[in-house]
Chain A
């Protein structure tokens, strides 16, 4: 940024006033220039706003049946068609997308929180704390997520929908914990940590104020990608009948219902599939953009 040329010469202490770009500004700048990520961000935001706002104006909520048009292909009255009971597919896809997004965000939040917390403690304190946490991680890894979800939904029928993201969150943090632990182990030996300790900073301060900001990049990227990951997992669970159960709707459940009707009523399959693929694609591209933006070795301007 240069000073505007005015008639009165600006007397400055320096010859040019060039503001130093802070690290975060550089990252934001790099991200904003990542074209696929920006397009994805726009698409994802539009989809999210649409599925959360438009249902209030749409005459067919996901449970309402249009008994005069059963299994109708897409038309003006029902842009995504109707299913065998005359329920409007657009209404159902919007509701399903809401649910799937909610599940993904709750699970992703839990995964990130637990993963970062345990990984940070294990990597920072090392020793027996590390040993216990890592053995615990190994244990969680050996128990398939599927059996846990299965036990809850078969053994305790009628659990509310948010049990699924909570279980996903509680049992899928192992990968992130390992990443965070590895980063902490290398960063805790760095001079700036030693300096912080020398001036008397406590462990908590060192962990949260000194080390964590330095690994914000990998964490943010992993958190973003876990949103897509959980949506895919939710589809798999719903496919096995272990996900969100009717009368509630999720994208996975819609896909599972439509697979048998693929041949005769393909629109039942295409619209929820398109929604989930589009959302995951956007999330993945955003994650890629973030990764590029946080990469210190990255000096490419254009994406």
Chain B
């Protein structure tokens, strides 16, 4: 194992080196930094100003010398300054933390959701649940992040906040909830009795009544708990924020800070969760179907192990293996920032870092961004391989 990791790292180093050269070639072609362009556009600019700016951006030399300068600096940890003369490395680290906060929460949630839905979809293949979830997965596959995030911002926050501040429930909605409970209870019971020989009517009625009861319970809880302008008293500002990762200048104890984080994270992570969930649930379903039709599952069943044990111990555990590698790869690729989601919700993470650097046409920032992305892709590729080899004894690494 150690040798495998060592060899992979040794392969990764020339790869990253080549990647840095290609990136450098790309970035040198992006044009003059915006600051220099602006300076040239000013009528009273002097040649010394321009050449000073060129030195500041490090573009005063020949490309090869520039590459050597930048690369040695980068390896040593001196990533240079950006267009506003701020050190790039600490700035980047700050942005990575913001992105990681969003990404870790969203990844965990989407994996949990995706795995659960995938498993149920596979063992209850071609049921209403399976079709429903398949449709949802395809739907979120098909929605561009910009559309989903824009929609969530408008309908999940801007339209939702006034309601949250003064929650109320109209009679129509109450009747709808009660009716939904009734029908759902009946349908669930019918589904459960599908393969029973005796299907007494009383059981259907019990199901329907239980569903109705739950529906009414929801309404009562809402009426007692929320329908008294509780939030207006406690929370004068909009509950679900749409901009930024924290309230600027927010002070408070640990709990209050966590609450602040939570509400800021709610919508952007929902967008990422929905998109991630779509992919993971499909992968998990396919992988689970594959495993459940394999020989060792048949053997396990033949030995008389209960279906529950077969599903969980023999099925799920093995079906998770390919999924974990996909999650690792996705995570590495996503570290470059969920640019769209971050932009729409005004998070200053890696995505913002990129779009700002691009607007400034700042070569050093762009190079730092691409190199960090490349390292994370290579690193998580390696992690995915290691996990895969560790979990699946059939894979041998040499």
Question: A residues within 8 Å of B by Cβ?
Answer: 135, 138-139, 141-144, 146-148, 150-151, 154-156, 228, 231-232, 235-236, 239-240, 252, 255-256, 259, 262-263, 266, 269, 273, 276-281, 283-285, 288, 297, 300
Q: Judge whether A263 and B154 touch: CB under 8 Å.
A: yes
Q: Judge whether A255 and B22 touch: CB under 8 Å.
A: no
Which of B19, B141, B145, B355: most chain A CB closer than 10 A? B141
User: Does any Cβ of A come within 8 Å of B322's Cβ?
Assistant: no
Q: Judge whether B147 and A148 touch: CB under 8 Å.
A: no
CB-nearest residue of chain B to A142: B374
CB < 8 Å: which of B23, B146, B366 contacts A236? B146
Q: Judge whether B344 and A147 touch: CB under 8 Å.
A: no
Q: A255-B147, A259-B146, A284-B138 are in contact. Are A151 and B29 (CB under 8 A)?
A: yes
In the bound complex, how far is the Cα of B336 from the Cα of A281, in angstroms? 27
- Residues in A neighbouring B344, C-beta threshold 8 A: 259
Q: Judge whether A281 and B144 touch: CB under 8 Å.
A: no
Knowing that A150-B30, A255-B144 are A-B contacts, what are 20 other residue pairs whose CB atoms are under 8 Å apart, sorted by A's residue number?
A142-B374, A142-B377, A143-B19, A143-B374, A144-B370, A147-B27, A155-B30, A232-B142, A235-B146, A235-B147, A236-B144, A252-B146, A255-B146, A255-B147, A262-B150, A273-B151, A276-B142, A279-B142, A284-B138, A284-B142
- Residues in A neighbouring B358, C-beta threshold 8 A: 150, 154, 240
* Interface size range on B against A: 35 or more
Q: A139-B18, A281-B139 are in contact. Are A148 and B26 (CB under 8 A)?
A: yes
In the bound complex, how far is the Cα of B288 from the Cα of A17, in angstroms? 41
| 14 CB-based A-B contacts, threshold 8 Å | A139-B18, A139-B19, A141-B377, A143-B19, A151-B27, A155-B30, A231-B144, A232-B144, A239-B343, A252-B144, A255-B146, A262-B154, A263-B158, A283-B142
- Residues in B neighbouring A256, C-beta threshold 8 A: 146
CB < 8 Å: which of B16, B23, B141, B378 contacts A147? B23
Rounded to whole Å, the gap between the CB of A187 and the closest CB of chain B is 19
B133-185 at interface with A (beta carbon < 8 Å): 134, 138-139, 141-147, 150-151, 153-154, 158
Q: Judge whether B19 and A142 touch: CB under 8 Å.
A: yes
Q: Judge whether B145 and A236 touch: CB under 8 Å.
A: yes
Q: Judge whether A280 and B141 touch: CB under 8 Å.
A: yes
- Residues in A neighbouring B378, C-beta threshold 8 A: 138, 142
Rounded to whole Å, the gap between the CB of B362 and the closest CB of chain A is 12
In the bound complex, how far is the Cα of B370 from the Cα of A228, in angstroms? 26
CB-nearest residue of chain B to A269: B150
Rounded to whole Å, the gap between the CB of A30 and the closest CB of chain B is 15
Q: Judge whether A155 and B15 touch: CB under 8 Å.
A: no
User: Does any Cβ of A come within 8 Å of B340's Cβ?
Assistant: yes
In the bound complex, how far is the Cα of B141 from the Cα of A278, in angstroms? 11
User: Does any Cβ of A come within 8 Å of B361's Cβ?
Assistant: yes
In the bound complex, how far is the Cα of B138 from the Cα of A142, in angstroms? 28
CB < 8 Å: which of B147, B158, B361, B369 contacts A273? B147
- Residues in B neighbouring A284, C-beta threshold 8 A: 138, 141-142
User: Does any Cβ of A come within 8 Å of B293's Cβ?
Assistant: yes
Q: Judge whether A146 and B339 touch: CB under 8 Å.
A: yes
- Mask of B10-33 contacts with A, CB within 8 angstroms, 1/0: 010001101100110011011100
In the bound complex, how far is the Cα of B52 from the Cα of A175, in angstroms? 45
- Mask of B331-349 contacts with A, CB within 8 angstroms, 1/0: 0000010011001100000
Q: A141-B377, A273-B147 are in contact. Are A151 and B30 (CB under 8 A)?
A: yes
Rounded to whole Å, the gap between the CB of B152 and the closest CB of chain A is 11
CB < 8 Å: which of A142, A156, A277 contacts B142? A277
User: Does any Cβ of A come within 8 Å of B373's Cβ?
Assistant: yes
- Residues in B neighbouring A155, C-beta threshold 8 A: 29-31
User: Does any Cβ of A come within 8 Å of B353's Cβ?
Assistant: no
User: Does any Cβ of A come within 8 Å of B354's Cβ?
Assistant: yes
- Residues in A neighbouring B154, C-beta threshold 8 A: 262-263, 266
In the bound complex, how far is the Cα of B135 from the Cα of A285, in angstroms? 9
- Residues in A neighbouring B373, C-beta threshold 8 A: 142, 144
In the bound complex, how far is the Cα of B16 from the Cα of A228, in angstroms? 31
B35-93 at interface with A (beta carbon < 8 Å): none
CB-nearest residue of chain A to B15: A138
Q: Judge whether A297 and B147 touch: CB under 8 Å.
A: no
Q: Judge whether B355 and A240 touch: CB under 8 Å.
A: yes
Q: Judge whether B146 and A277 touch: CB under 8 Å.
A: no
In the bound complex, how far is the Cα of B289 from the Cα of A300, in angstroms? 14
Q: Judge whether B293 and A239 touch: CB under 8 Å.
A: no
Q: A239-B340, A277-B143, A285-B138 are in contact. Are A143 and B22 (CB under 8 A)?
A: yes
In the bound complex, how far is the Cα of B34 from the Cα of A154, in angstroms? 11
- Residues in A neighbouring B23, C-beta threshold 8 A: 143, 147
- Residues in B neighbouring A279, C-beta threshold 8 A: 142
CB-nearest residue of chain A to B142: A280
- Residues in A neighbouring B143, C-beta threshold 8 A: 273, 277, 280
Q: A150-B358, A151-B29, A239-B340 are in contact. Are A281 and B142 (CB under 8 A)?
A: yes
Q: A144-B336, A144-B373, A154-B358 are in contact. Are A276 and B15 (CB under 8 A)?
A: no
